[in-house]
Amino acid sequence: MYIYADETGNTGKDIFSPPALYGEGAIFAVEDIEPIVGPILVDLMRDMGVSRIHANELQPWKAAEIATSLLDALDASAVWDFHLTLIEKEYLATTKFVDTVFDSGENRGARWLWYNVAYFRHVLCLLIDKMLTPRNRRAFWWAYLNDDYDGVKAAVRNARTYLDRFAKDRRLINVVLDAFDFALRYPEEITLMASKRRDSYKGHTPNMVAFSSVMQGAHDFAETHHCMPVAFYHDHQSEFGKTMHEYASLFSRLRIEQPEVTRPWLPSDAKITDYELGKFSMPSSKDSLPLQAVDILLWIVQRDGDPTLATVRERILDRIDPFCISRAISEMVRMAGLKRLAETPISDEKLVRGQEIASEMEEHFQEKRRDFFRGSGYSKSHPV
């Protein structure tokens, strides 16, 4: 298996600058696709008198023409897929807020169910997103990147003032208040590490979140097609190159299995594979024809609404099972969960058992809090 990945959309630390979306595209193929796409692009470069094909320098009709030729060649000669990651950059701050404040492994006031089960986590994200004013979202993000506990606490306090406005379910209100109160009283229990090293912030940016998504997508492709990864190419990246090399080395065998959108009641799972994702390198797209092919396909996918690109764009999308971090996806997960619940028959026996499990989980949560207060020497009157 061969992996070719490229990105689009300026980002880094500043997730509040345009464009609103950050994208990462990748071609996964069982065999090396350079002999397949190379001749097409070499002929084009000769005819156009250029040394590299840049999608953003092409007229839409020309990009559609080139992409059609590439897709025809790939479909005829290769087992392949196109992986797409799209991140709504500002919404990433919301998800980091939830990851920081509602991680039940660190926050004794956070409930396991609401952090580890997709449906509940997305419900939290949607609520917190409404509670964060634009100014507070920015304040939290920069405090988070600077390991500024006082800044994070200020963001939590500010968000808490909006809870009653946006949450009406008393159970949800209690979930948020318990987590907020513990985070405010005992912030030292929560790990902030974005400034531990000069480049530690990079792992929290859209760039590296999307890169991690490519790695997980590659695992899915490898296991679906029973193929062994040989090489992993990413277009040259100056700011994030070192971090990408580190991620490829450290996490190449880690596979995170996320539940499908239609099954949001299941928790995520992780395992260590018995293979790695191939030798990782970062050549310039000028020297890699398959990376130029990724650039063209990614550019087209992001241009919704251009009639010149509509047909070829739909053809690319037919090969994509995208990974997205956005408000729309969180809402989709919430609605899918409600739909599945409404359509699933629940007997009286299951309803009673469900209530018993909920009570057991709540008792375990309360006992964990009591153990913390007894063993830590802290007092519940610890000032907020």
Q: What is the pLDDT of residues 249-265, one digit of tens each?
A: 999 999 987 766 556 66
Q: Would you give the distance in Å from CA 302 to the centre of its chain?
A: 17
Residue 218 is predicted with a pLDDT of 96
Question: What is the rounded distance in angstroms from the CA atom of residue 246 to the CA atom of residue 236?
Answer: 15
Q: Read off φ and ψ for residue 275, nearest 5 degrees.
A: -140, 160
Q: Would you give the distance in Å from CA 115 to the centre of its chain?
A: 15
**Residue 20 resides in a domain:** yes
**Residue 109 resides in a domain:** no
pLDDT at 331 over 80: yes
pLDDT at 369 over 80: yes
Answer whether 319's CB lies under 8 Å from 71's CB. Answer: no
Q: What mean pLDDT value characterizes the chain? A: 91
Question: What is the rounded distance in angstroms from the CA atom of residue 74 to the CA atom of residue 316?
Answer: 11
> Alpha-carbon Rg of the chain, whole angstroms?
23
β-partners of residue 80 are: 29
- Tokens found for residue 380: 């519940």
pLDDT at 378 over 80: no
Work out the average pLDDT over 225-244: 94
Residue 262 is predicted with a pLDDT of 57
Question: What is the rounded distance in angstroms from the CA atom of residue 75 to the CA atom of residue 312?
Answer: 13
Structural domain count of the chain: 1
- Tokens found for residue 291: 């990376």
Bridge-based pairing state of the strands 231-234 and 279-281? parallel
Residue 344 is predicted with a pLDDT of 85
Work out the average pLDDT over 117-143: 96
pLDDT at 330 over 60: yes
**Residue 76 resides in a domain:** yes
Q: How far apart are the first and last CA of the chain?
A: 53
Residue 377 is predicted with a pLDDT of 55
What's the pLDDT band for 213 if we cut at 50, 70, 90?
A: very high
**Residue 197 resides in a domain:** no
pLDDT at 274 over 70: yes
Percent of the chain with pLDDT over 70: 95
Torsion of CA 212, 142, 91, 330, to 10 degrees: 80
What's the pLDDT band for 376 if we cut at 50, 70, 90?
A: low
Work out the average pLDDT over 73-87: 96
Work out the average pLDDT over 156-165: 97
Work out the average pLDDT over 334-341: 89
CATH of the domain at 280: 3.30.420
pLDDT at 277 over 70: yes
* Residue 317: closest CA among 295, 300, 337: 300
How many C-beta atoms surround the C-beta of residue 331 within 10 A? Answer: 14
**Residue 186 resides in a domain:** no
**Residue 275 resides in a domain:** yes
Residue 358 is predicted with a pLDDT of 87
Question: What is the rounded distance in angstroms from the CA atom of residue 27 to the CA atom of residue 116?
Answer: 30
pLDDT digits (tens, 9 = 90+) for 167-196: 999 999 999 999 999 999 999 999 888 888
Name the residue range of residue 295's domain.
Answer: 2-83+210-235+268-321
Question: What is the rounded distance in angstroms from the CA atom of residue 65 to the CA atom of residue 50?
Answer: 17
Question: What is the rounded distance in angstroms from the CA atom of residue 264 to the CA atom of residue 120?
Answer: 8
Q: Read off φ and ψ for residue 232, nearest 5 degrees.
A: -130, 110
Question: What is the rounded distance in angstroms from the CA atom of residue 184 to the CA atom of residue 275?
Answer: 43
Angle formed by the axes of helices 310-317 and 60-77, to 10°? 40
Torsion of CA 26, 28, 31, 37, to 10 degrees: -40
Residue 342 is predicted with a pLDDT of 86
**Residue 365 resides in a domain:** no
**Exposure b/e, 227-250, CB count within 10 A at least 16 = b:** bebeebbbbbbeebeebbeebbee
Question: What is the rounded distance in angstroms from the CA atom of residue 28 to the CA atom of residue 227?
Answer: 11
Answer whether 66's CB lies under 8 Å from 40's CB. Answer: yes
Block residue for tokens 């610890």: 382
* Residue 10: closest CA among 26, 27, 25, 22: 22
What's the pLDDT band for 304 if we cut at 50, 70, 90?
A: confident
Range of lowest pLDDT (21-30, 258-267, 332-341): 258-267
Block residue for tokens 């309803």: 351
Residue 50 is predicted with a pLDDT of 92
**Residue 65 resides in a domain:** yes
